[in-house]
Amino acid sequence: MKMALNLMLALILSCLVGCASKEELQKRKDNAFDSSGTYATIKAESEIDFGMVITNESSASDVLVSVMRPQLTTTETEFFKNLGLDPAKVMTLIGTTMPLGRGKQHELEGGENISDDFGASSKLSVDGDDYVYDSSWTITYRMSGVTLKSDMIMRGYLTATAVKSTPSTDANGKPVTKRESYSQSLKFAASNGKPFYMQYFGSWTGAISINSGVNSDANKITSLTLVSTGADTYSLSAGYSSITRDGKTFNYQAINYSVVDLAKNDIPTLQINFKGDDGSYLILYGEIWSLGTFTGSLVYVSGTTTTSLGSFTFKKVK
């Protein structure tokens, strides 16, 4: 009975610190940055110099990382030598292009690339393959990093782990395998040169909820697209040339906005205008709080009068 209670307590405690709801896990994926691209290390901030390519697989939260370098660092070389391992053999095993994230378990709850702070940052964790050095030793690598929205530089660690497995026996004489683990981490900072506002461009998917009693077909809009219209301008469209209210047609009005507004504001405001023949408007107006939350209102504007007709929430397609 005591053992069962202890096990139950352990399960409860583990869930208190690591069992997020399905809704929370989905938010972590929705708010994660699109980290794909080609990266170069910032040498002044790094203990290791490498090239890196991140590719999205099934989504931006399911990634494949390729680390490219010609040789081990001095720190890694000494680490393996101190364990009695041949660094040249290790380098041959892992290769000059080392893949990370090919389906192995990762340490983050929700995916290999997530945001658990409502889009202020994105966290990445990917494990490499198990490389069998010999009958006793196995070597693997893990990359973990955090990218802040404010500067879009990934900062983290590339960690080498060597595990030694030795046949042994337990207190009852039963054969067991004794495992000893040794790790060496190398700090890095890397950038793909893309400012955060570029993450806003592309498709957003969601829904418009029309207020009770309002006669409008604006809820047919289920996606928005933010596109670049010039070197310093962008436009937001809804995929329809017109929408209606009370039988009256409002036509889409293309407007170019300044990219500066996207770049400088932590929570940029965006809008789409549909203009009626009498000069009145139906306007979708909202704020992008994160890549998972673009929320706002559908309003009718006539002269100085503004009437709320509904609300909307969209999230970025990645």
In angstroms, the CA 306 to CA 173 distance is 82
Which pLDDT score, from 0 to 100, does residue 106 have? 65
What range defines the domain where residue 69 resides?
22-194
Q: How many domains does the chain have?
A: 2
- 91 CB-near residues (< 8 Å, 6+ apart): 71, 72
- Quick: pLDDT tens for 22-71: 999 999 999 999 999 999 999 999 999 999 999 999 999 999 999 999 99
| 229 and 266 belong to one structural domain | yes
Predicted local distance difference test score (pLDDT) of residue 4: 46
Helix 74-82 × helix 87-94 angle, to 10°: 120
Query: What mean pLDDT, rounded, does the chain reach?
Result: 93
Residue 237's DSSP bridge partners are 225
Give the DSSP letter string of 254-288.
Answer: ---EEHHHHHH-SS-EEEEEEEETTS-EEEEEEEE
Would the pLDDT of 17 be above 60? no
| Residues 287, 148 share a domain | no
Query: Where is the domain boundary, 194, 218, 244?
Result: 194
Average pLDDT of the segment spanning 159-186: 94
Whether 5 maps to a domain, the answer reads no
Q: Give the span between the Cα atoms of 315 and 205, in whole angstroms.
A: 5
Residues 189 and 284 in one domain: no
